[in-house]
């Protein structure tokens, strides 16, 4: 009796499947680690440090490339100067901010010395303005205004005494922010000149890709922010050089204020707020009406920066204006001003990762 033929079974190779599953697991782990790191930055208020890491990395790479290209044009130096170019780039990035701060403090020494006299002049001017208001306002409202310079000084002293704790906390926060920023600058500049390993393990390779994508998103945001700062500077220059003189008001230190507008505008949102505060204070030294005009103009510019930021950044990063505006508003509601600064960068990185995975 003939035997029935047995079905032929083919062995399914399990090694490729296991490798694919392991590769997916490593990729997912790298995404989770990157997400945890970015959230930790927001929760622990380390955003200035993260931004300075990126700035230090890009600036060091740019200086090193510039120095290396310059030295290669000299045949006598040869190719051995590439290492020295990296070292000089690190020195420039780390010493440059300290030298700039030292120069600014040396130039501002006379203003610091004259600060008490300027304070007394401002106090007298404020007292005269208050007395004029008391004579023009109804009695029911005038009784709530101080009676003179001594009363104004007492009100200011009481307010500062009541806010001493908040001012101390704010001072420590600023000091920590500056410290973290400079440490981030050190980390970024050293990472830019470090030698890449010949071979990375799977998780390290995936994390390197995540960080590289984040750096590309940061570079796009920086390029967009440059044009935003230039636009804000143009509007501020028109206002200070043409609108204010036509109105009969001339602000002192106008060139310095225009320069500050551009430099501070390179920092998203927060830089604009700092610049606005300085211009308003300078306007107050001229007259309260001038300060009010500056404040109204700068508030309009600040609100317009939402749309400008979304438009320019969206064009650079292939993001629609509405989605970037929505992300900015949500991030500000969750994380405050830091969320407003981080929103374009984080969302640009998220979208690049989704595009790389062919999900959007």
Q: What is the pLDDT of residues 313-351, one digit of tens each?
A: 666 667 776 777 788 888 888 888 788 778 888 888 888
CA distance 10 to 310: 57
**Are the beta carbons of 152 and 134 closer than 8 angstroms?**
no
pLDDT above 70: residue 42: yes
Residues 6+ apart with CB under 8 A from 294: 251, 279, 280, 282, 283
**Token pair for 320:** 């629609």
pLDDT attached to residue 155: 62
* Cα separation values, 191 from 151, 186, 234, Å: 56, 8, 36
pLDDT above 80: residue 116: no
**Are the beta carbons of 324 and 331 closer than 8 angstroms?**
no
Q: Which residues of 186-211 are buried (b: 16+ CB within 10 A; e: fewer)?
A: ebbbbebbeeeeeeeeeeeebbebbe
* Cα separation values, 54 from 60, 73, 213, 217, 311, Å: 10, 29, 12, 10, 23
Per DSSP, the three-state class of 18 is helix
**Of 166 and 263, the one with more pLDDT:** 263
pTM of the model: 0.65
Minimal CA–CA distance to 318: which of 308, 326, 310?
A: 310
**Token pair for 253:** 């230190």
- pLDDT-based confidence at residue 40 (cuts at 50, 70, 90): very high
Range 275-302 average pLDDT: 76
pLDDT attached to residue 117: 61
CA distance 360 to 355: 5
**Of 194 and 253, the one with more pLDDT:** 194
Average pLDDT in the chain: 75
């Amino acid at each position: 009796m003939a035997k029935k033929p047995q079905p032929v079974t083919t062995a399914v190779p399990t090694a490729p499947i296991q490798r694919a599953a392991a590769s997916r697991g490593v990729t997912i782990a790298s995404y989770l680690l990157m997400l945890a790191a970015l959230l930790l930055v927001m929760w622990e208020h380390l955003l200035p440090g993260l931004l300075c890491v990126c700035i230090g990395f890009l600036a060091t790479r740019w200086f090193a490339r510039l120095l290396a290209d310059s030295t290669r044009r000299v045949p006598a130096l040869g190719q051995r100067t590439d290492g020295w170019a990296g070292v000089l780039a690190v020195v420039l990035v780390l010493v440059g901010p300290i030298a700039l701060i030292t120069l600014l403090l040396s130039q501002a020494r006379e203003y610091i010395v004259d600060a008490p006299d300027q304070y007394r002049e401002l106090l007298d001017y404020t007292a005269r303005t208050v007395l004029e208001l008391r004579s023009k306002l109804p009695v029911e409202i005038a009784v709530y205004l101080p009676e003179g310079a001594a009363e104004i000084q007492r009100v200011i002293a009481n307010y500062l005494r009541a806010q001493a704790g908040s001012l101390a906390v704010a001072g420590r926060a600023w000091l920590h922010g500056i410290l973290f920023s400079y440490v981030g600058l050190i980390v970024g500049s050293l990472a830019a000149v470090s030698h890449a390993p010949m071979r990375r393990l799977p998780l390290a390779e995936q994390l390197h890709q995540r960080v590289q994508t984040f750096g590309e998103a940061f570079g796009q945001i920086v390029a967009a922010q440059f044009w935003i700062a230039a636009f804000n500077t143009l509007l501020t220059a028109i206002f200070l050089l043409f609108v204010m003189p036509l109105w009969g008001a001339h602000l002192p230190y106008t060139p310095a204020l225009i320069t500050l507008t551009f430099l501070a505008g390179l920092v998203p949102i927060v830089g604009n707020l700092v610049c606005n505060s300085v211009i308003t204070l300078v306007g107050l030294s001229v007259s309260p009406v001038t300060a009010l005009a500056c404040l109204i103009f700068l508030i309009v510019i600040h609100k317009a920066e939402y749309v400008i930021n979304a438009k320019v950044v969206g064009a650079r990063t292939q993001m629609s204006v509405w989605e970037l505006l929505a992300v900015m508003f949500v991030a500000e509601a969750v994380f405050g001003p830091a969320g407003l600064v981080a929103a374009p960068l984080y969302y640009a990185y998220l979208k690049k990762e989704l595009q790389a995975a062919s999900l959007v």
